[in-house]
A = this chain, B = another copy of it.
Amino acid sequence: MATGLTPPPCSHAAAKVPVGDKHVGFLFAGCPELIGTPFSYTREEEVYGEGEDAEFVYKVVSGAVRTYKVLSDGRRQITGFHLPGDLFGFEQGEAHRHTAEALSDTKVLIFGRRQVERAANHRAEVACQLWGMAKMSLRQAQDHMLLLGRRSATERVAAFLMDVEDRLGSTGTFDLPMTRRDIADFLGLTIETVSRTMTQLEENGALLRAGGRQVTLRRSHLRRVVED
């Protein structure tokens, strides 16, 4: 399928990459020339820092990673959480424009950026896959802009919880892989507001909590909160 003469349109090819599929060491399916090197990070360890040369790109195998930007006075915006199956570390340009850190002990596959670019230059199909992934990330970013610009704290938290559950593939009860601070810095809120909002959602019967991180979502209630 990978080397067919008439591959499907780029967007289709990218859409077919199954979420969570590990591709046993490959960057994506049907690309055996791009084999990643396994690597591990411990909790809170930096994967790369803003301004560093973008030498590698990464695929999460287990654990979770946050990428963020900071202002000089410490205000932080997390632009994405990267869960198993996700790729991160692609940049427009030579240098990383984010910092990336492991949320918990995390295993990744590392791919040389140069190698990936070389493969993209030689094989249109690879470039199309990468294009599709970038468009996917862009779509997520645009959805998040709507959330940051126009949604209330309650809507943000509710949408976030449903999104994380979806991406973890969880059904029912699960543990949030990030702290309140991380959630707050992703949603453009403070930890206090996140905490209060979750309490309020629990009071409204939209979720159950146990032990800080563990939550059980009542999707029907939460969907009503988010509306649209």
Contact = CB atoms under 8 A, between A and B. Distances in A.
Contacts of A185: 149
A136 B141 CA distance: 13
Q: How many copies does the complex hold?
A: 2
Interface in A74-98: 75-77, 79, 90-94, 97-98
Interface residues of A, number: 57
Interface string A41-76: 000000000000000000000000000010111011
A97 to B, nearest CB: 6
Nearest to A125: B121
Contacts of A10: 117, 120-121, 127, 130
Contact of A138 (B73, B141, B150): B141
B127 A97 contact: no
B150 A149 contact: no
A150 B11 contact: no
